[in-house]
Structure 1
Amino acid sequence: MSSRPVAVLHRMVMPGHTCPYGLKAKSLLERRGYKVEDHWLRTREETDAFKAEHGVQTTPQTFIGGRRIGGYDDLRRHFGLHVPARGETSYTPVIAVFAMTALMALAASHAAFGSPFTIRAGEWFISFSMVVLALLKLRDIENFSTMFLNYDLLAKRWVPYGYIYPFAEGAAGVLMTANALHWISIPLALFIGGVGAASVFKAVYIDRRELKCACMGGDSNVPLGFVSLTENLMMIAMALWMLFAAVSPAHPVP
């Protein structure tokens, strides 16, 4: 006889729709050692009747020991897991972007030079990051430009700059990745990075404003501050480094 605790789960499994939260709830319960009595709600009428019977607005619904736990978020809370609040600050997107661009740079360096640890890997890390951050902004340029107008000094005076910025950042990143057309990429990165750094510094450290950063796109929950300032300082540093490399014949490529 099984000693595993039993949980009763009611979830929608219809011909045209399987509730993803129901699947998540089932998986979470099984990972926590529960034997799941899995009850499928196969039609809209069956689902509505279940909701009315238990006085709930959503499915799935989990019951443990005869007590209703609730939906998927309630189940996570029951197990002491974090449930993000709407609009909650999160650095996860930033960590994901920089971790992946770092790995991409190391991989590209290994493919090109036989070693992941080269000067070019450092350059590619910054240029790849610029391209990915530009891509995130271009997913919804309207929302990005609106958020950008909250703090960027130039965009406040000339609104089209909010639309130009992601294209400029992406172009500079691509050219720096290719190590080409320095006469375009270096001044472009210096300009947008300089204006951006000044804007963030003023908004956060002088005016003490609490804003969301547009660096990850228009739907970002990353707070304006260190991350956005770092993005702009990285562009400035990359531009200065490439300027040094361009005028220094002895600069080693790898």
Structure 2
Amino acid sequence: MFVTVLFALLFYAATAIFLAGIGMRIARYARTPAPLKIPTTPAPTTRGGVVLRMVTEVVLFNSLFKANKWIWIFGIVFHVALALVLLRHLRYFLDPVPAWVVMIQPFGKYAAFAMVLGLAGLWARRVFVERIRYISSPSDHLMLALLLGIGLTGLAMTYLWHVDITAVKLFFTGLMRFDFNPLPAHPMLLLHLLLVAGLMIIFPFSKLLHAPGVFFSPTRNQVDNPREKRHLTNVKWMVRSEKPAASADQ
């Protein structure tokens, strides 16, 4: 029971920090003025074109594809696989489980391998590419280690040390009703959940915020119309008035 209560409180705290942290960051991004018209050219000249550009950036990583094909491959493999894995995990929170979630279970199961492969490639880039290694900070390696640990422990539970997934589902569905159901005291499961909670807590304060941040990037979300329309910031600038200095001949 101690383990159940401990992890229940941990996930309540992690969820609160995750949601509040992301909410505050998004509000901060929205309030930050964009004083210059700086879309990366060639840029769309209509609002519809900007929407299309954002879709290709978010879904296809268009600018990364143009910059570096190898990084794009590892990046797209990791993100697509991660999306499938997350969608597969909806079965632990929904009752009844929608038919489409049931249908993607085999794809999500094997997508975990692709997720780990993509992460390994992205981490190898930070280790072996000199110019990337130079600008990489310990937090960059920590994020990759957390994600890789989550993927590896998940694979271990799927293929090596099986866990009572029915009990796991009862635990998480119970949390949503503030009803504590016993969590299996499986070492690999506890490590997996501990890493997930750690990632949730760190996420709002890390570089992983590029996920929502890309929508507020002025180089991507601006229309290229500086000649047709005057660009104004969305905040009032405070101008400090100062008394002119006396001239030397006074």
- TM (norm. structure 2) is 0.29
* Structure number with higher relative contact order (C-alpha < 8 Å, ≥ 6 residues apart): 2
Higher percent of residues as strand: 1
Give the structure-1-normalised TM-score: 0.28
> Is the helix fraction higher in 1 or 2?
2
Based on CA coordinates, which of the two structures has the bigger radius of gyration?
1
